[in-house]
Amino acid sequence: MTAVASDAAGKDRGAAAGKPRGQAAQHKFEMNIEETRITLVGQQTFQTFAYAGQVPAPLFHVREGDHVEVVLNNLTTLPHTIHWHGLLQRGSWEMDGVPDMTQLGIQPGDSFTYKFVAEPAGTMWYHCHVNVNEHVATRGMWGPFIIDPVKPAPIERDVTGDYILMFSEWASSWADKLGQGGMPGDVFDYFTINGKSFPETQPIRVKEGDVIRLRMFGAGGGFHSIHIHGHVFQIVFKDGHQLPAPINADTVLVGPGERYDIILRCDNPGRWMIHDHIDSHTMNGHTPHGGVMTLIEYDGIPRDQSYYHWAHKEFVPDFYYEESLRKPHGIHTNPNFKGTPVA
Amino acid sequence: MTAVASDAAGKDRGAAAGKPRGQAAQHKFEMNIEETRITLVGQQTFQTFAYAGQVPAPLFHVREGDHVEVVLNNLTTLPHTIHWHGLLQRGSWEMDGVPDMTQLGIQPGDSFTYKFVAEPAGTMWYHCHVNVNEHVATRGMWGPFIIDPVKPAPIERDVTGDYILMFSEWASSWADKLGQGGMPGDVFDYFTINGKSFPETQPIRVKEGDVIRLRMFGAGGGFHSIHIHGHVFQIVFKDGHQLPAPINADTVLVGPGERYDIILRCDNPGRWMIHDHIDSHTMNGHTPHGGVMTLIEYDGIPRDQSYYHWAHKEFVPDFYYEESLRKPHGIHTNPNFKGTPVA
Amino acid sequence: MTAVASDAAGKDRGAAAGKPRGQAAQHKFEMNIEETRITLVGQQTFQTFAYAGQVPAPLFHVREGDHVEVVLNNLTTLPHTIHWHGLLQRGSWEMDGVPDMTQLGIQPGDSFTYKFVAEPAGTMWYHCHVNVNEHVATRGMWGPFIIDPVKPAPIERDVTGDYILMFSEWASSWADKLGQGGMPGDVFDYFTINGKSFPETQPIRVKEGDVIRLRMFGAGGGFHSIHIHGHVFQIVFKDGHQLPAPINADTVLVGPGERYDIILRCDNPGRWMIHDHIDSHTMNGHTPHGGVMTLIEYDGIPRDQSYYHWAHKEFVPDFYYEESLRKPHGIHTNPNFKGTPVA
């Protein structure tokens, strides 16, 4: 078996370049599921079943109506699928990815090809549908699937920067026990944005006048009550769909499976926290000041104060897929999220 | 004592038949509270205090302004009441059913008669208000109370099928310990729709063109983040009251005590999951692929694929009170929900 | 060190009296953080780090645009700060109160002066930002910060009574272990409104025709699904900001960090429960009928029925800061919430 995780974005660019506006593009992608070990924070590693070896999984970024084909190779020791959460699968319900319902689970060593049209527009995602208590809740089997609308809403056209934040939690007692975990009563003691806990998350760097869109995902089985300092933001989309009217807020509750897109106007230079207000979700195990936490850093605000925790932070771009989302449509892997193979 | 659980629906039909449009009907019902044992799934039974011996309790389905009288006989070993959740009780606050606040708890062997006007319109419910940590959270003392409006909203008039889904959870360690349980820290390990866990729930069978209304209830003490595949539905009512505008979504978070009515247009033939996205709520104890899960089955989609978990499913109608809701107004028992008496 | 907790409200009155309408007032306040022991209910005490020695902390009640200066003296054994949750801190991000991000934690024996403009209008609050898992979730370091708008919305002008309800939870195993607690997996077993569990909460006394505003705060790390009997209320504000349209409901879910202002028209004389529908939140440890529970009592409804739990209740005004909120703008302490010093 010579399956590889290959980014089809290059092909897509070519394919899309010659097409008249409004015509559907074709996106093809081949992806392995691999057993990897990721590092949540510090010494805390966690074994995962990882699409393309990464957590979060590759970014799908396509246009409404595009055709998508994914060859999925299961290189792990347990069965898996992909459910494309929020996609309609009109005329293609057997591509919906639910074991024993729309297909058989893909056995170890086997492959399955998903083919479907990307609709409706919005912030969607994908995840395994086998043993979701383990595979989704605590093995990192999820990634973002962004479908740009043919006709964007006016408020979307203001956006200058687009960010993916997938929230999840981890029960460290199961870290090295692939095939187990996610039971009722489990104690989840690590909490992450895109698979990392503070201080190993990354700042969101903006300049005054930016208008940022934060796409928030309840990717695990837990709740996240996300508070942002220094701004009144607008909750504009739920589950990819525009709300009847934007809701002004400083805190947004993201439940399991839900997505909320918020739009925040960068009109208040400073250094501002973004964090989960479920207080225990700022713990890394028994250590406070971690978990679901990051900062908005404005250009022009000095970052070298001696008291600043991130004064010497090494900045890693694309941690929120913000660079990938600027690229032409396609499927984008991200080396930041790569784990190491489990021996 | 000769108390019986009698369905007054027959009387109601007679009573309502001769009335001019707009005049209030009278509904009288006598109901015992009984100690029963229900089966959640497989071998997992649970002892309950059950109104009319069933979980969920009988369906009250009346019209706004109707008069309701319920004689409640407590045949169990502990005190109980009924609180009519969401009903105004205008001029009848002593019928509100809160022990030590609006009445004394109804002692074992005693009876109490509730009399009130059914208002406002909407998806309401009823439950015991004694020791709610046990009686509501884990002994099944709840049922639906649907009040049809005198003037339905336009969106309601599109509906072709109406379904009741009451979500709750169960801590198996208390299954056989009536009078105990529901403590802070309890591990709830079974999760049900109308008292049953998958695979012992029932499919929702529709045909293309149907417009279904799913009335969802947070009947227990837990949260349920309900995701439906293959459709964008509309969240139209909260707690029985129409929202200012429908919210498009694929997931709806139902908190304890809340009700959400969603309207789903059946425009996408296939086989589609409905499930709780709190991943551990798809467990039956330690076994995955259970809990709060069911499917929408479209007519015309073959149900006999070998891989389909429900290929040989015995279909039981009225599991969602969908048949009862088509009947004339009245109080409807349901043999599907009957337990067996605790010896 | 001669730090004192002094109420500057008197000064404010003087200052505001001579000012033309529309001009900003100045509010100065000096406040200690003290180690105190409060009583949640019965014999259950809890050690806190308490702003001005009280839980909830003093009420800040100012007008949009007012200038606020707070001298904070840390008389405890651990570092602390104040984060002004929901306030913009425009041009004053270093007053945002996040340790290692916008300032250093204020060490034991040290002081810090916060200076900022009070904006935007709405139901805001303040809390410590050091070790929030302990200090916010289970040591009572929070208080209300109400900013009246320069131009109130029409619906606000109907209000005849204004109430503060701060919800939180407590893990009794940490009651006497200052500096510990708030770990993932902790069992929270006491649940309070403004630091008290039923039956030691207070009734909300109204008369027919009143229009009350209940400002609800998710002050701890838990959820509260607040149900009110006998009324359809309107959810009007989230996080201090007016919703696009009021939402009619009988239950409102308040997540950690969130605030919801509801408006309830007192048109239904009776005695009506307000309680958390997360059933276990009505427990006091192992005892039912406690926790997050209170009642609305209408004038004219007799309170002396023998069955009424609160027939002989000693009424304590200002438990919801409802008296303080009628006073001129200022910072208001409340003797109801004072603890006793930890020896």
Q: Which domains does chain C have, with CATH numbers?
A: 9-151+337-341 (2.60.40.420), 156-311 (2.60.40.420)
3-state SS assignment for residue B327: coil
Q: Among B96, B105, B102, which residue's Cα sits nearest to residue B130? A: B105
Most B-contacting residue of C232, C280, C310 (CB-CB within 10 A), to test interface: C280
Cβ–Cβ gap B189/A186 under 8 Å: no
Q: How far apart are alpha carbons A87 and A98 in whole angstroms?
A: 13
User: Are β-strands A204-206 and A190-193 bridged in parallel, bridged antiparallel, or unpaired?
Assistant: unpaired
Q: What burial letters (b/e) apply to C30-41, b meaning 16+ CB within 10 Å?
A: bbbbbbbbbebb
CB B131 within 8 Å of CB B182: yes
Cβ–Cβ gap A223/C255 under 8 Å: yes
**Which B residues, 154 through 193, put their C-beta within 8 Å of a C-beta on chain C?**
182-186
Q: In the prediction, which pLDDT does A58 show? A: 98
Q: In the prediction, which pLDDT does A252 show? A: 98
Q: Among C278, C279, C297, C123, which residue's Cα sits nearest to residue C201? A: C297
Q: In the prediction, which pLDDT does A6 show? A: 42
**Residue in C246, C282, C301 nearest the CB of B132:** C282
Cβ–Cβ gap B248/A256 under 8 Å: no
Q: In the prediction, which pLDDT does A96 show? A: 98
Q: In the prediction, which pLDDT does C22 show? A: 62
Contacts of C258 in chain A (CB under 8 A): 225, 251, 253, 277
Closest chain B residue to the Cα of C248, Cα to Cα: B241
CB proximity C221 to A under 8 Å = yes
List chain C pLDDT tens, one digit each, 343 residues: 233 334 433 333 334 434 555 689 999 999 999 999 999 999 999 999 999 999 999 999 999 999 999 999 999 999 999 999 999 999 999 999 999 999 999 999 999 999 999 999 999 999 999 999 999 999 999 999 999 999 999 999 999 999 999 999 999 999 999 999 999 999 999 999 999 999 999 999 999 999 999 999 999 999 999 999 999 999 999 999 999 999 999 999 999 999 999 999 999 999 999 999 999 999 999 999 999 999 999 999 999 999 999 999 999 999 999 999 999 999 999 999 999 999 7
Q: How far apart are alpha carbons A194 and A324 in whole angstroms?
A: 14
**pLDDT at A201 > cutoff 60:** yes
Cβ–Cβ gap A238/B245 under 8 Å: no
Give the model confidence (pLDDT) of C298-335 as tens digits: 999 999 999 999 999 999 999 999 999 999 999 999 99
Q: What average pLDDT does the segment A240-263 reach? A: 98
- CA angle, residues A213, A215, A217, in degrees to nearest 5: 165
Closest chain B residue to the Cα of A179, Cα to Cα: B288
Q: In the prediction, which pLDDT does B22 show? A: 62
Alpha-carbon gap: B185 to the closest alpha carbon of chain A (Å): 9
H/E run at residue C115: strand C111-117
Closest chain B residue to the Cα of C171, Cα to Cα: B184
Contacting partners of chain B (3+ CB pairs under 8 A): A, C
Positions in chain B short of pLDDT 70: 1-22
CB proximity C306 to B under 8 Å = no
Cβ–Cβ gap C101/A309 under 8 Å: yes
Contacts of B179 in chain C (CB under 8 A): none
Alpha-carbon gap: B145 to the closest alpha carbon of chain C (Å): 15
Cβ–Cβ gap B273/A101 under 8 Å: yes
Phi, psi of A303 (to 5 degrees): -110, 10
Residue C198: strand pairing partners: C291
**Which B residues, 229 through 248, put their C-beta within 8 Å of a C-beta on chain A?**
229-232, 244-248
Q: What average pLDDT does the segment A166-178 reach? A: 98
**Residue in A101, A132, A243 nearest the CB of B295:** A101
**Which B residues, 80 through 109, put their C-beta within 8 Å of a C-beta on chain A?**
none
* DSSP for residue C111: E
Contacts of A277 in chain C (CB under 8 A): 218, 221, 255-258
**pLDDT at A12 > cutoff 60:** no
Under 8 Å CB pairs connecting chains A and C tally to 122
* DSSP for residue A20: P
Most B-contacting residue of A89, A239, A254 (CB-CB within 10 A), to test interface: A239
**Residue in A189, A251, A309 nearest the CB of C239:** A251
Cβ–Cβ gap C89/A246 under 8 Å: no
Cβ–Cβ gap B258/C289 under 8 Å: no
ipTM of the assembly?
0.94
How far lies B223's CA from each of A5, A68, B168, B252, in Å? 38, 35, 8, 11
CB proximity A26 to B under 8 Å = no
Cβ–Cβ gap C270/B88 under 8 Å: no
H/E run at residue A155: helix A154-157
Q: Among A312, A226, A313, A296, which residue's Cα sits nearest to residue A261? A: A226
Q: In the prediction, which pLDDT does B21 show? A: 56
**Residue in A248, A251, A285 nearest the CB of C258:** A251
Cβ–Cβ gap B283/A85 under 8 Å: no
Cβ–Cβ gap B184/C223 under 8 Å: no
**Residue in A225, A279, A286 nearest the CB of C258:** A225
Under 8 Å CB pairs connecting chains A and B tally to 122
User: Are β-strands C67-74 and C83-85 bridged in parallel, bridged antiparallel, or unpaired?
Assistant: unpaired
Contacting partners of chain A (3+ CB pairs under 8 A): B, C
Q: In the prediction, which pLDDT does C14 show? A: 33
- pLDDT confidence band for A265 (50 / 70 / 90): very high
Contacts of C182 in chain A (CB under 8 A): 279-280, 283
Q: What mean pLDDT is reported for chain A?
A: 94
Alpha helix segments (H runs only) across B57-148:
132-135
Cβ–Cβ gap C133/A227 under 8 Å: no
Phi, psi of C13 (to 5 degrees): -55, -50
Alpha-carbon gap: A194 to the closest alpha carbon of chain C (Å): 20
Which residues are within 8 A (CB) of C168 and not within 5 positions of it... i.e. 6 or more apart? C137, C138, C140, C142, C191, C192, C195, C219, C220, C222
**Helix, strand and coil percent figures for chain A, each rounded to 5:** 10, 40, 50
Q: How far apart are alpha carbons C61 and A322 in whole angstroms?
A: 41
- pLDDT confidence band for A21 (50 / 70 / 90): low
Most A-contacting residue of C124, C132, C242, C259 (CB-CB within 10 A), to test interface: C132
Most A-contacting residue of C258, C260, C261, C278 (CB-CB within 10 A), to test interface: C258
Contacts of B131 in chain C (CB under 8 A): 288-289
Contacts of C244 in chain A (CB under 8 A): 244-247
Contacts of C186 in chain A (CB under 8 A): 280
* DSSP for residue A57: P
Q: How far apart are alpha carbons B258 and A322 in whole angstroms?
A: 37
Contacts of C271 in chain B (CB under 8 A): 93, 101-102
Tokens at A330, concatenated:
């396609």
CB proximity B282 to A under 8 Å = yes
Cβ–Cβ gap A188/C184 under 8 Å: yes
Q: How far apart are alpha carbons A181 and A173 in whole angstroms?
A: 8
**Residue in C100, C134, C185 nearest the CB of A309:** C100
Closest chain A residue to the Cα of B223, Cα to Cα: A255
**Residue in C245, C279, C289 nearest the CB of B256:** C279
Alpha-carbon gap: A85 to the closest alpha carbon of chain B (Å): 7
Most A-contacting residue of C84, C96, C102 (CB-CB within 10 A), to test interface: C102
Question: CB-based burial of residue B338 (10 Å sphere; 0-12 exposed, 13-18 middle, 19+ buried)?
Answer: middle
